[in-house]
Structure 1
Amino acid sequence: MPIKLPKLLPARDILEKENIFIMDDERASQQDIRPLNILILNLMPEKEKTEAHLLRLLGNTPLQVNIHFLKTATYESKNTSPYHLEQFYTTFKEIKEKKFDGMIITGAPVENMPFEQVEYWEELVEIMNWTKTNVTSTLHICWGAQAALYHHFGIHKYELPEKCFGIFSHIVNDRSEKLLRGFDDIYLAPHSRHTDVVMEDIEKCPDLKILSSSEEAGAFIMYANGGRQIMITGHLEYEAQTLAEEYWRDFNKGLATQIPVNYFPDNNPENPALNRWRCHAHLLFSNWLNYYVYQATPFEWN
């Protein structure tokens, strides 16, 4: 089944070339099914890239998905054109009375700041509180995961001695959980962050469960309240070259940046990286949409 997108959204052209099933409003209105309404709070600076990353995964399931993009009202993005934001994004004030089947809260380049010093923190707290009554399941990614762990469960983050940057091996801690159904015993996933959380703090919290972890990268996938809240500390949604773009961006700025671990062939940044986590990215998002959104959400929200 398709993902429904506006005709003029730039990510649409990218996804259509990859044979992702897309339809517009006119065709979607003729479908006699109950589509899923997914809200994406995009806190990343290059919003169009993040849109393509997420839509590629949301558009590869048997479900029709309506996408709604959310921006902060208390902070104006400097890396995305005002025209793009005006055309495709809305603010929390405009949707706070609505119900959504699922929501994604992305990462943000503010991880070295205390949460309370982030310009839009109070707005994000209001949104995270709202998700508990207005969203069936919320997926938090990277800094978004750390923000959720801190706000909902009091789990603090700490600064790493060096950036967690590269492709790391992960194990499945609980194979009975549907979110990881079909996962290999060991699989790869990208990470890119300067901060982390302590696994022992999560294990002590009775409301949290670690579903997957890495010896090198720590706790990776966690959930609470039967999947109403899901936290992922890495970036399964990344494309093959995303970490390379990040590495070269910092290198060309003259910053002391390390080569991503286990990423470039022969550890040579001149060699194009290969995507070795794509299947698990699709599987994770498919499982989330099916088991925690579609199977759990009411046909009609009251």
Structure 2
Amino acid sequence: MPIRIPDDLPARKTLEKEGVNVMDSSRAARQDIRPLQIGLLNLMPNKERTETQFARLIASTPLQIELSLVRVSDHQSKNTSEDYLKSFYQTWEEVRSRKFDGFIVTGAPIAHIPFDQVKYWSEMIDIMNWTQTHVNHTMFICWGAQAALHHFHGVNRYRMPKKAFGVFRHHLVGGPSPFLRGFSDSPMIPVSRFNDIDRKSLGPDLEVLIDNEDIGICMLDDPKHRAVHMLNHLEYDNRSLADEYQRDIKAGLETPPPENLFPDGDTNIEPENRWRSHAHLLFQNWINEIYQTTPFELDEIGR
């Protein structure tokens, strides 16, 4: 089954060129089926790139998905025009009365700011609490995961001596998990963060699923809050880390090249995507678990 996104969304052309099956509104209206309702709270500056990355992975399922793009209400974007946002996004205030089968909260480039000093932190608290009554299952990513772990569990984070930046081998360390079906024992996963979470502050209601002892925990299961927390970036395309590196160089920063990204360490060679299959597996597994556990009637979610 295809993914349903706004007909004029620029990401649509990219996905169609890649062979992703995208459904338009008129075709969706003719099908007598309840699509899964997935919301994407996009906190990243480059909205178009981020929404494309997630839509690509959400579409890799045999189920029909309707993707809703959401943004925080109390924030003025500096990188995306207001016309674009009004055309394709709803604020959380506009969707807060809705129920969702699944909800994704992305990262945000504000890891250097204490949580309570983030301009939209009070709204984030409302959103995180709202997921407990209006969402069947939530995936928190990068800063979104750090925020949810801090809010729900009091997990501490700290600044690492240097940025973890590159593609690193990780290991599956938890028990059997429906979210990791088909994963290899040691997947390569993109990482781009200065912060890590303090393992000593993790409580017994959190299970570490994917780990790297050198650069930190990658993914945790949070069954109490019907959530998974992914601290790294399986959704990235092959250019995400490379473009971040080039931006730093142009800005005059002495950022070293991302580790294990460029073939033979040559930054002039186009990087390969060595994590794509695990990215698709994670989202297929997550959506399948949502399908198996969500009520048929959306109104029953949260009851």
TM over 0.5: yes
The counterpart of 1:237, out of the listed 235, 238, 244, is 235
Letter paired with 2:241:
L
Give the aligned partner of residue 165 of structure 1.
Answer: 165
d(CA) in 2 for partners of 1:102, 1:208: 20
Give the aligned partner of residue 200 of structure 2.
Answer: 200
Letter paired with 2:293:
A
The Cα RMSD (Å) is: 1.0
Q: Deviations along 1:168-200, whole A, 9 cap, x unmatched?
A: 001111251110011001110000011110223
Q: CA deviation at 1:5?
A: 1.1
Give the aligned partner of residue 29 of structure 1.
Answer: 29
Give the aligned partner of residue 288 of structure 2.
Answer: 290
TM-score (norm 1): 0.97
Q: CA deviation at 1:226?
A: 5.9
Asked if 2 retains the 8 angstrom alpha-carbon contact of 1:241 and 1:273, the reply is yes
d(CA) in 2 for partners of 1:281, 1:195: 22
Q: Deviations along 1:222-253, whole A, 9 cap, x unmatched?
A: 01126711100100000011100000001011
Give the aligned partner of residue 251 of structure 2.
Answer: 253
Letter paired with 1:167:
V
Q: Deviations along 1:90-116, whole A, 9 cap, x unmatched?
A: 112211111100000000000011000
Say which SS state the counterpart of residue 26 (structure 1) adopts: helix
d(CA) in 2 for partners of 1:216, 1:137: 30
Asked if 1 retains the 8 angstrom alpha-carbon contact of 2:170 and 2:211, the reply is yes
Letter paired with 1:190:
P
Asked if 1 retains the 8 angstrom alpha-carbon contact of 2:219 and 2:229, the reply is yes
d(CA) in 2 for partners of 1:174, 1:209: 7
The counterpart of 2:217, out of the listed 216, 219, 229, is 219
Matching of residues 129-208 of structure 1 within 5 Å: 129-202=129-202, 205-208=203-206
Say which SS state the counterpart of residue 247 (structure 2) adopts: helix
Asked if 1 retains the 8 angstrom alpha-carbon contact of 2:166 and 2:259, the reply is yes
Letter paired with 1:298:
P
Of stretches 99-108 and 226-235 in structure 1, the one that deviates more from structure 2 is 226-235
d(CA) in 2 for partners of 1:61, 1:150: 31
Asked if 2 retains the 8 angstrom alpha-carbon contact of 1:175 and 1:181, the reply is no
The runs of 5 or more residues in structure 2 that have no matched partner are none
d(CA) in 2 for partners of 1:136, 1:281: 21
The counterpart of 1:299, out of the listed 291, 296, 299, is 296
Say which SS state the counterpart of residue 168 (structure 2) adopts: strand
Say which SS state the counterpart of residue 108 (structure 1) adopts: coil
Q: CA deviation at 1:139?
A: 0.3
Letter paired with 2:258:
P
The counterpart of 1:262, out of the listed 260, 265, 270, is 260
d(CA) in 2 for partners of 1:193, 1:174: 23
**Which aligned runs of 4 or more in structure 1 are off by greater than 6 angstroms?**
none
TM-score (norm 2): 0.97
Asked if 2 retains the 8 angstrom alpha-carbon contact of 1:212 and 1:222, the reply is yes
Letter paired with 2:18:
E
Give the aligned partner of residue 90 of structure 2.
Answer: 90
Give the aligned partner of residue 46 of structure 2.
Answer: 46
Letter paired with 1:103:
F
The runs of 5 or more residues in structure 1 that have no matched partner are none
Give the aligned partner of residue 114 of structure 2.
Answer: 114
Asked if 1 retains the 8 angstrom alpha-carbon contact of 2:154 and 2:201, the reply is no
Asked if 2 retains the 8 angstrom alpha-carbon contact of 1:179 and 1:287, the reply is yes
Structure-2 change in CA distance of 1:177 and 1:80 (3 Å): same
Asked if 1 retains the 8 angstrom alpha-carbon contact of 2:174 and 2:207, the reply is no
Give the aligned partner of residue 272 of structure 2.
Answer: 274
The alignment covers a number of residue pairs equal to: 299
Asked if 2 retains the 8 angstrom alpha-carbon contact of 1:168 and 1:216, the reply is no
d(CA) in 2 for partners of 1:280, 1:93: 34
Q: CA deviation at 1:30?
A: 1.2
Asked if 2 retains the 8 angstrom alpha-carbon contact of 1:35 and 1:66, the reply is yes
